[in-house]
Amino acid sequence: MSVAPMRLEDRLPARSGALLWVIAAIGVAIVPHLFNQPVWVVLTTVLALAWRGGVHLGRLPMPSRWILVLLTILMTGLVLGRYGTLFGRDAGVALLVLMTGLKLLETRTYRDAMLVVFLGYFVIITNFFYSQEIPAALYMLVAVFATTAALVRLNAGEGVQPARESFGLAGLMLGQAVPVMIILFLLFPRLPGPLWGMPQDSTTGVTGLSDSMSPGSISELLQSDAPAFRVSFTDEPPAPAQRYWRGPVFAHFDGRTWRAGRETEIDALPLLPDTDGMVTYTLNLEPHERRWLLALDVPVAVPPDARMTEDHYLVADRPVRRLVQYSLASRTDLILEPELSEARRRQALSLPARAAPRAQALAQAWRAQHEEDDTLIQAALRHFNEEPFFYTLSPPRLERDPVDQFLFEARAGFCEHYASAFVVLMRAAGIPARVVTGYQGGEYNRLGNYLLVRQSDAHAWAEVWLEGRGWVRVDPTAAVAPERIEQGIRIALSGDLGAPDFIRRSLDWGMVRLQWELWRDSIDYYWSGWVLAFGPERQEELLERLGLGRLDWRGMITLMVVLIGAVVLVFAAVFLWRNRLPVADPLAVVYRRFCRRLARAGLTRAPHEPPMDFARRIARERPDLAEPVAAFTREYVALRYGAGPDPERFGQLRGLLRRINP
C-alpha cells in the first residue's frame, strides 16, 4: 500500500525554497479570520501549513491521498454542521480558508504552488466582508505584499534570490499597480447596495436606533462608542442645545412599547431660503440596516431615493447597508403641521384604557389646575425637576406598568423613560403628544471640521402639539439633567458610569488621548467619506465634474480599459526609455548624423557594421565619396575609440562631416 516517500521537492525544482514563502504568506492572509471565524477553522489551517512546512524541511511525510480525502470530507461536514450551508459569507469563507490549507498538503508541483498563491489573494479579499476599516485595509496591504513576494519567489529564475530582491520586486509591482487600482476604484461600475448581498449575515453586529421603543431599548446604544454619523456644516454648526437629530417618530403606545405610525409620504417642506433658522450640511451615515435617515430637527429637503413621512422624518427606499452620504437642509424655526386633522389628533391622544392609571389621574389633576396647555406643560416639567427624579443609565427593572412604576416608584431612568412618561402624561391631560427618537449632541472635531455623533448620543424626547405653534419639542430629560443636553452625555454620566480612572487621575494624559481620538476620527471620517461612501451617486458626481457627463456602465468600462491601457503604455515607455541605447556620447550623435546623411544617398549602414568597414564599403560603392568619408571616419574612430577625448579635434570632426555631400 505505502509507496516510498517521494522526493517532493524534485517536482518543485530550485524554486522549492519558495514554498516556505507561500506557506508564510497564506499564514499572514488567514490571521484576521481569527476574529471572524470559529477558532478551529483558522487553527486547522495553521496546522495544515505547519505540516506542509514540516514536509518541506524533511521532518514529516506528505499525507496520503486517503487522509486528504478524509480531511476534506470532515472539514466540509464541520462547516456544514456549523453553518447549515456551504454558501453565504461565513460558510463560504470558512470553506475557502480550510481548503487553501488542504490544497497546500497536496502541493507537489509548481502549478499547485501557483494555485495556492492565487487562493491566497482570494482569502485576503474575503477579509473585507468583515471589516473595511483602515487598520484592516492596511493589514490586507501587508498580506498582499507578502503574497506577491511569494509569487515573485516562486517565479524567480535558477539560483537563490536574495530576500531583499524578492521584496523589492514585489514592492515595485504593487507600486506599479497603484494607478490601475485608482482607475478601477473610480470607474468600476457600482451596484446600488452592497456588492455582497448576504442579508442574513450582514445585520449582525450593526447597531442603531430600533423601530420601536420599550424600557431599556436605548440603554445598549448608550454604551457604544461607535460612530452613528458625521456631519459637516456649510456654515456655523448650531449651538449644542439645538443639536437634535431627528430619527423615527413614535405615536402608537400599547402600554409598554412605542411604535411608529404608517409611513405616509408627504411633500418636502418649503425651503424658504435666507431665514436665520436655515442650516445646510452634509451627513455621512454609518450603515444601520434600517431605512430611516437622520437629520437635524426639522429637515426640509429630501435626498434622492428617500421620502419625507407625515411625522417629518426621512425614510430611504432601501435599508442603509453601507455608508451613505447625503446633503440636507433643516430649519430650526419651522411651524410643523399648523393644522392637525381630527384623525391625527385622535391618534396623538390615544392611550390604552388600562395603562398607567396613576399617571392618568395625576394628569387629570393637573388639567383641573391649569387651563392653559402651556402652564400645564410647565407644571409637568417642574414636577420632573422638583420631585426626586434621577438621571441614570442603570435604572431598576420596570415590569407591570412601566410608566406608573417609573413615575411613582423608581423615579430613576434616562431619556426614554422621561420621554415616554411625559407623552403619556400629556395625552392623559388632553394635549396631543408623541415620542421622537434620534440623537442629541455630538462632538465637534476641529481638525476635520465636522461633528461626530456616536451611538452613545442616542436620545428620545417628546413633541406636543399646541394651537398656533404646531408640534413643539419638549425634552423632559433636560428638566432632570440639563447638563445632558447642554454638555453631552459624557459629562452627564461622569458621576454615574464615569470616565475611565486614568482620565481623572491625570488630566494631561486625558488631553493627549482626546487629541489622538480627534485625529483618529478625522482620518476615519475622510476614509468613510471618500473611500467607503464612494457609491454610484458619488461616481456619477465625479464623472460629471470631470466633464464626462452621465456614463452608463459600458461607457465606464470603455473609459476604464482606455485609461488602464494608457497606464500600461506609460510604464512600457518608461521601461524602454530606461533600456534605450545610451546616446549621451556627442561623438555618437555626430556619427549618427553622418550615417543619416549617407543613408539619404542610399548608403545605409547596417546596425552591426563597424565604422571602418562601412567606410571601406563606401569607398568601393561610391569612389567619389571615398576621401571625405575616410577622413571623417578616421577622425571619428580615433576620437571615439582612441585614447582620450579632444575638444579641439571634435570641432574638426564637424568640419569633416560638412564636407560629405552625397
Partner 1 sequence: MNKTLPDTAMAARIDAILAQLNTVIFGKPGPIRLALACLLARGHLLVEDLPGVGKTTLAHALARTLGLQFQRIQFTSDLLPADILGVSVFSTERKRFEFHPGPVFSQLVLADEINRTTPKSQSALLEAMEEQQVTIEGTTRRLPEPFFVIATQNPQEQIGTFPLPESQMDRFLMRIHLGYPDAAAERALLRGRDRRELVEELPAQVDAPALLALQRQVTQVHVSDALLDYLQAIVAHTRRPGVYRMGLSPRAVLALLRAAQAWALVDHRDHVLPEDIQAVLPPVAGHRLHLSESPGLAPEQVTRRLIEAVPVP
| Binding stretches for partner 1 (CB under 8 A) | 157, 581-582, 585, 587-588, 606-613, 634, 637-638, 640-643
In the complex, the smallest distance separating the C-beta of residue 616 from partner 1, rounded to whole angstroms, is 10
* Joined grid coordinates for residue 595: 550615417
In the complex, the smallest distance separating the C-beta of residue 614 from partner 1, rounded to whole angstroms, is 9
Of 402, 398, 403, 414, whose CA–CA distance to 361 is shortest? Answer: 403
The secondary structure of 642-659 as a DSSP string is SSS--HHHHHHHHHHHHT
In the complex, the smallest distance separating the C-beta of residue 612 from partner 1, rounded to whole angstroms, is 5
Maximum pairwise Cα distance, the chain: 131
In the complex, the smallest distance separating the C-beta of residue 646 from partner 1, rounded to whole angstroms, is 13
- Selected catalytic residue, list 33, 56, 373, 415: 415
DSSP state of 499: -
Which of 238, 611 has the CB closer to partner 1? 611
Which of 175, 647 has the CB closer to partner 1? 647
Would you state the torsion angle of the CA atoms of residues 146, 152, 156, 162, taken in this order, to the nearest 10 degrees?
-40
In the complex, the smallest distance separating the C-beta of residue 146 from partner 1, rounded to whole angstroms, is 28
The secondary structure of 408-448 as a DSSP string is III-EE-HHHHHHHHHHHHHHTT--EEEEEEEE--EEETTT
Which of 54, 642 has the CB closer to partner 1? 642
In the complex, the smallest distance separating the C-beta of residue 550 from partner 1, rounded to whole angstroms, is 50
Which of 502, 641 has the CB closer to partner 1? 641
Distance (Å, rounded) from C-alpha 24 to C-alpha 145?
12
Whether residue 415 lies in the annotated active site: yes
Residues in the chain: 662
Question: Angle, to 10 degrees, between the axis of helix 163-187 and the axis of helix 536-545?
Answer: 80
Of 420, 214, 255, 429, whose CA–CA distance to 352 is shortest? Answer: 255
- Selected catalytic residue, list 311, 459, 521, 524: 459
Burial of 452 (0-12, 13-18, 19+ CB in 10 A): buried
Whether residue 595 lies in the annotated active site: no
Which of 490, 616 has the CB closer to partner 1? 616
Strands (E), 370-522: 390-391, 412-413, 433-440, 443-445, 450-454, 458-466, 470-474
- Scanning the structure block, which residue is given the C-alpha cell 447638563? 483
Whether residue 459 lies in the annotated active site: yes
In the complex, the smallest distance separating the C-beta of residue 587 from partner 1, rounded to whole angstroms, is 8
Which of 564, 612 has the CB closer to partner 1? 612
CA–CA distances in Å: residue 241 to residues 209, 433, 439: 21, 21, 12
* φ and ψ at residue 546, rounded to 5 degrees: -80, 0
Which of 388, 644 has the CB closer to partner 1? 644
| Catalytic sites, residue numbers | 415, 459, 475
